[in-house]
Amino acid sequence: MKEKYSLKKIIMSVFIWIAILSSVVLGVFSFINIADSLRASTRRNANNTLVQVDNNVNILLQSYEDALYQVYTSDDVISYIDDINSDNDVSVAKSKLRRYLRALVNSKDYIRSITIITENKEIIAYDQMTQKTYENGWLKQYSMDADTLYDVIGANALLKVFPPEYGTSFAYEDYYLLHLAHRFVDYRDIRRNPGVVILSIDERMIQSCYQKSEADGEFIFITDDAGRIISCGKHQDYIGKNLERIVKEDATGENIYAKFLSQELEMSNFDIMEYHDDVLGWNIICAKDRAGLVTALNTQLILIIVVEGLVFLTIAVITVRLSDRLSNSVEKVVRGMQSAKISGSRSKVEIDDAMPLEIETIALGFNEMIERLEKANASEKKALVKQKEAQIAALEAQINPHFLYNTLDTINWMAIDRDEYEISNAIGALASILRYAISDSSAVVSVDDEVGWLKQYIYLQQVRLKNKFTCDMEVAPEAKNLPIHKLLLQPFVENAIVHGFEPEQELCELDIRIWLKESLHIMIADNGKGMPPDIVDKCNRGELEEEGGRKHIGMANAITRLRMYYGESATVHVESEPGEGSTVTILVPIQI
């Protein structure tokens, strides 16, 4: 007869063999997974570092682009340049220009020089890297002469980013400069090119974006798509050199970045990660030392062995103590479940102190599930009642708009019967406006439909204000069929009519222009009283709140809706001076 063993002995025997095998297998797989995780974490952290470096670089470049924008769009600066080009008070104009440039250079870190090349090739500069600050210190050493730079920058109205290269030496220090350049934009005649401006930034600005990472044991350098080195930390002498001309060919199979690090910087035992910035065309490369990874893996291996040994001993003791109670507790739970199955959902498992925690948790979970089922049934019944009530309310709500339309139609015919055609036209326009606004206010319509509705709204305002203002509206043919969300333009028009025009103002003019240029451009201008500078600033920052009751709340809501529909791709720019009217320019991305 086959020998039988007690449940406790079987459980212990099975546990020991499973524990040994599982410990070995789990230890091996844990080590492999931890090793992979550490490698992945290291690579992920390095990639995050690269992304952060790229974000920092772009944020800083954007701030310098803003500074450059102040120069090439400044009416005063363009006026000074026109005087120089026309040989009118040249010395005065140059003096004013240098004072302006000096203030801008000193306003931000890392700006070393600002250079203006006029149409007649006059060079006006403010340069911190020369003893005479009004002389340009880097142009003579640059890879392009002034005429070539003028032609390249002035070819179009786009920002030019020239990669860093050696600029000059001053006070026993070498300067490598990154140049941002743009032609001057005279909004009175945007096709005219009176000159170009070049903002020269110290390459150390780029280094400042990744110096913390280098302190953490990572080496970062930057190249462009052609392999030219943009930034290389403390090794500035490599800036401007091409990797293909520096590294030597060998049979190691390493990529060109690894060869550069090993051959030129004498680095070894590292991993290479890179990130490409599509806008700048730059490659950001991070070299991570493997020594830290090896140390971490060894520490994890020791930790796994110690933890598995402790866990094995602890579980063995717990298993011996629980095995006696386990079978009885399991049977009690099973009996309780069978009872619930037979008698319905109200039966629960009886809990006693002898149950192990795990079995008690199962029993409590089962009991809790029974309670939740009962509550769910009750909630479902309530939800059905509420759903029916909501459907009835929705049907009742549909009556109001139809009643309003029918009433307006009745009044319209009454006006026609009395030959009050102006009143009839106003009522018809009002009905169309209400029907358009109420029907799916967030829908997408064509620009032509939105303009048609806007004309009816303006007509009503003219009737209300007894033709106090005139409106000139022009829509480019190519923009008429473009899609746009409903009711986006009305708040800006209403703001111009209601808050822009003074009651005593005699000549009130409203000008609306819509055209297509990469994105949809919408301009709404009035010759009213204008806005205070603080309101203009809030509008341009997208932080407009209620001012004076409900004043400007329509514009605030419209700006918010623009952000919701189109994100940061949509912009609203307000230009206004007290007493000189306001101009609102809206850029909406084209969505096909």
Query: What is the extent of the structural domain holding 118?
Result: 73-207
Last residue of a domain, one of 289, 306, 338: 289
Of 5, 10, 16, nearest in space to 323 by CA: 10
Report the CATH number at residue 450.
3.30.565.10
Give the end-to-end CA distance of the chain in Å, rounded to a whole number. Answer: 83
User: Do both 226 and 203 map to the same domain?
Assistant: no
Report the CATH number at residue 164.
3.30.450.20
User: Do both 194 and 96 map to the same domain?
Assistant: yes
Question: With a threshold of 0.95, does the pTM exceed it?
Answer: no
- 261 falls in which pLDDT band (50, 70, 90)? confident
Q: Do 175 and 138 contact (CB within 8 A), yes or no?
A: yes
Q: What is the rounded distance in angstroms from the CA atom of residue 34 to the CA atom of residue 40?
A: 9
- Tell me if 47 is assigned to some domain: no
User: Do both 445 and 583 map to the same domain?
Assistant: yes
> What are 474's strand-pairing partners?
513
pLDDT exceeds 70 at position 566: yes
- Provide the 10 A C-beta neighbour count for residue 183: 22
How confident is the model over 115-140, as pLDDT tens digits? Answer: 999 999 899 999 999 988 888 989 99
Question: According to the model, what pLDDT value does residue 364 have?
Answer: 80
| Strand spans (E) along 100-240 | 111-118, 123-127, 160-170, 173-183, 195-202, 218-224, 229-231
The CB-side HSE value for 259 (13 A sphere, CA atoms) comes to 16
Question: According to the model, what pLDDT value does residue 283 have?
Answer: 93
Between 49 and 21, residue with greater pLDDT: 49
User: Do both 230 and 191 map to the same domain?
Assistant: no
- Tell me if 44 is assigned to some domain: no
Question: According to the model, what pLDDT value does residue 251 have?
Answer: 54
- Tell me if 300 is assigned to some domain: no
Q: Is the dihedral of CA 244, 246, 252, 258 positive or negative?
A: negative
- Tell me if 364 is assigned to some domain: yes
User: Do both 145 and 87 map to the same domain?
Assistant: yes
Last residue of a domain, one of 207, 226, 261: 207
User: Do both 188 and 240 map to the same domain?
Assistant: no
Count of structural domains within the chain? 4
Tokens at 90, concatenated: 């040249």
User: Do both 496 and 528 map to the same domain?
Assistant: yes
User: Do both 255 and 391 map to the same domain?
Assistant: no
- Tell me if 418 is assigned to some domain: no
Residue type, position 514, single letter: I
Of 292, 355, 294, nearest in space to 329 by CA: 355
Report the CATH number at residue 223.
3.30.450
- Tell me if 42 is assigned to some domain: no
List, in order, residues 6 or more apart from 97 with CB less than 8 Å away.
77, 80, 81, 84, 116, 124
Ranked by mean pLDDT, the top range of 27-31, 457-461, 512-516 is 512-516
* Region 87-92 average pLDDT: 90
- Tell me if 24 is assigned to some domain: no
User: Do both 258 and 148 map to the same domain?
Assistant: no
User: Do both 236 and 202 map to the same domain?
Assistant: no
User: Do both 454 and 581 map to the same domain?
Assistant: yes
Q: Do 193 and 154 contact (CB within 8 A), yes or no?
A: yes
How confident is the model over 353-405, as pLDDT tens digits? Answer: 767 677 778 778 877 777 776 677 676 776 566 555 544 444 444 445 555 55
Last residue of a domain, one of 335, 361, 395: 395
User: Do both 464 and 517 map to the same domain?
Assistant: yes
